[in-house]
Amino acid sequence: MPPLLVVAGALVNRAGLVLMHRRPPGKHLEGLWEFPGGKVEIGETPPAALARELTEELGVSICDSAFQPCGFAHEMRDFSPPQPPRGIVLLLYSCRIWTGIPAPLEGGELGWFAIRQIESLELAPLDRVLLGQLRAGFGG
């Protein structure tokens, strides 16, 4: 079975703060912070999938060309039987241009954080890997 391809966005505002999403109760990894995003559907490019996901989750509009690739992470994940373990590849893109005010349309909460503040959040495991790559892009 091919790996599940997932995309995430690091929205960076004019003050250099990054938008993070806290997963709502009842969801996998509930209560942990993550870069918002979701699964790439069949026939979608990763930037198109991320634009769609951020519209659905946050109510913002973003042009595919506004995304800059900045990292990736992967793991094997056990799913509930009868599904076998499956690889997950998470692609991180940064973005500084969007239309609309981000809101947590699918639950959870949002927060704007400096890179050094994100390090102290309880992050989803793959997002912790992505944070290191994003931090490197911010000059350490």
> How many structural domains does the chain have?
1
Is residue 47 over pLDDT 70?
yes
pLDDT band at 79 (very low <50, low <70, confident <90, very high): low
Residues pairing with 75 in the sheet: 88
| The pLDDT of residue 92 | 97
Between strands 4-11 and 86-95, the pairing is parallel
C-alpha distances out from residue 102 to 62, 69, 140, Å: 11, 21, 27
pLDDT band at 83 (very low <50, low <70, confident <90, very high): confident
Average pLDDT in the 8-25 region? 96
Give the residue from 4, 3, 21, 133 showing the smallest Cα distance to 69. Answer: 133
CATH code, domain with 26: 3.90.79.10
Is residue 77 over pLDDT 80?
no
